[in-house]
Amino acid sequence: MNLARFDTPPEVANILCRHLPKTFKSILDPAVGAGTLLFPALKMIAKQDCKVIAVDIDKTALQQAKANLISNVAIAPKFICDEFVQWSMKKAVQRNLSNYFDCIVMNSPFLGRIKDWISLDLSHDSKQVTRKVPIEVAFLYRSLQFLKRGGRLLAVLPASVISSQTNEWIRNELLINGSIEIVHELPRFSFPKVESRMYLFVYVKGCKKTHIELRNHDITTPKKMILHKNDLDRRHRLDYSYYEVNQKYKSLIQSESLQWIKLSSVTDIIRDRNRLKKDDVIHTWCYRDCRWYRPRKYRSMDKASGIPVRQGDILITRVGRKCSTTIGMIKKNASGCMMSDCVLAIRPKTPSDAMKLLFVLRSTFCNSNGASLMERGSGASYISAHDLGELHIPWNLPEVYKRQYDSYRSAILAGDAVAMLAVEDEIKVKVWQPKRKYTC
């Protein structure tokens, strides 16, 4: 198992520890690493005669934590070298520490690949239930078992927990069993080399507050949004950027200047689930300069092997970095090629609408707003085929901006990506920052 694990930057640890409870007699760090998350809390720990338990599977990291923490705390923490999820399932641990801790601080390792997910025991009331989950979800779920009623969890969590469709169930658990007080989006690359969006998460077990405070990526003076639990989207996403863009998006859809319709009403969204060799099919690396190209090692296949793309199809990366920016038409010689499961085809129901559709999609969604609306997950993000079909698009955009659309068509036919991007940048501003009247 290849765990992604990164030490918490001191500035992130300092911000998170501002949310420590005023008084606590016990604190747990289930993935202590070098002790960075506990370090800002040492003064409070020393004053309150607090019991500290620090767990980590990495012996070297534990030695660093001992060096960083023991010399600064009057009461020596108890260090345990073990894998936290397995340790948490031991009968003696459950008997002695369930519902025990006043506070838990956590920056767990996390995984992006489904093949590395682990089995989590969710059994309760004599019902045997197991579920395959990413390691960060297992850490979070098992940590909650050790938190006492009224206890506070302070965690650094990746986007997989905050917004992933697959992990919606853990957000439901959190909402049912306590109060999500704050979710603070961190700036990109707050953890060097980590592409996933990361969040600070403050939770109180057993509390029944009805509102959640979402914060944007500003560390010092973040913008804040207070949401009632009933106003969360149907999958209970918790990311500020999604709600900020979604509020603007909903107001645009309700405006009368542009005709907003569901993408699925004018297209079919196609996903080929066949596991074909990536070198033989259109894969994510076949996209460049606003177009999708024929794979270099292409070989002809029986149509029964998969779903061939055809002229007029618009493709988009389903799984990969910056998915929403890869909307593009296929080159003529790519027609008939199969596509990998990492690519989606957007097929116009009327083939002659292909250029119009490309103009609408790229001008509206190939930007940060589109990423916030469409992309989910951690690390390499993904786009749901269902959610893509539910997206509303300004279908009359080419008629409203005819001059720009004519220039765009000419750029497509000439294969001029620079000219295409220039038009898209102009239209993006007009769509997302509209004035009262649209002018061509």
CA-wise closest residue to 274 among 315, 302, 297, 295: 302
Cα angle value 60/196/421 (rounded, 5°): 145
Mean pLDDT of 337-353: 94
Rounded to whole angstroms, what are the CA distances from 110 to 156, 238, 335? 11, 18, 39
CATH 3.40.309.10 fits 10-238, yes or no: no
Rounded to whole angstroms, what are the CA distances from 297 to 278, 280, 300, 313? 10, 6, 10, 21
CA-wise closest residue to 394 among 262, 214, 272, 231: 262
Within 10 angstroms of residue 271's Cβ, the number of other Cβ atoms is 16
CA-wise closest residue to 107 among 38, 196, 185: 38
pLDDT at 388 over 60: yes
pLDDT at 235: 87
Considering only 45-54, 179-188, 292-301, 389-398, which range has the smallest mean pLDDT?
A: 292-301
* DSSP one-letter code for 34: T
Residue 8 is encoded by which pair of tokens?
Answer: 């918490």
Handedness of CA 372, 376, 377, 381 (dihedral sign): negative
Residue 395 CA to residue 170 CA, distance in Å, equals 37
pLDDT at 392 over 50: yes
Residue 431 is encoded by which pair of tokens?
Answer: 């769509």
Residue 248 CA to residue 197 CA, distance in Å, equals 21
Q: Do domains 10-238 and 260-432 have the same CATH topology?
A: no
pLDDT at 333 over 90: no
Q: What is the mean pLDDT of the chain?
A: 89
Which residues have a Cβ under 8 Å from the Cβ of 295 and sit 6 or more positions away? 279, 280, 281, 282, 283, 286, 337
pLDDT at 57 over 60: yes
Residue 103 CA to residue 2 CA, distance in Å, equals 29
CATH 3.40.50.10490 fits 260-432, yes or no: no
pLDDT at 273: 82
Confidence of residue 435 (pLDDT cuts 50, 70, 90): low
Mean pLDDT of 140-151: 96
Helix, strand, or coil (residue 62): helix
In contact, 346 and 362? CB cutoff 8 Å? no
Confidence of residue 434 (pLDDT cuts 50, 70, 90): confident
11: left (phi over 0), alpha (psi -120 to 50) or beta: alpha
Mean pLDDT of 376-387: 80
In contact, 344 and 383? CB cutoff 8 Å? yes
pLDDT at 2 over 70: no
Please, where are the H alpha helices in 91-216? 91-97, 135-146, 159-162, 168-177
Confidence of residue 438 (pLDDT cuts 50, 70, 90): very low
Q: Could you identify the residue written with the tokens 């603070």?
A: 184
What percentage of residues in the chain have a pLDDT greater than 70?
Answer: 92
What percentage of residues in the chain have a pLDDT greater than 90?
Answer: 64
Amino acid at 265: S
pLDDT at 378: 62
pLDDT at 150 over 90: yes
Spans of all domains in the chain? 10-238, 260-432
Q: Provide the pairing of β-strand 328-330 with 314-317.
A: antiparallel
Cα angle value 221/223/226 (rounded, 5°): 130
pLDDT at 437: 47
Q: Is the pTM of this model over 0.75?
A: yes
Residue 231 is encoded by which pair of tokens?
Answer: 């106003």
pLDDT at 439: 43
Mean pLDDT of 187-207: 87
Considering only 122-131, 162-171, 295-304, 355-364, which range has the smallest mean pLDDT?
A: 295-304
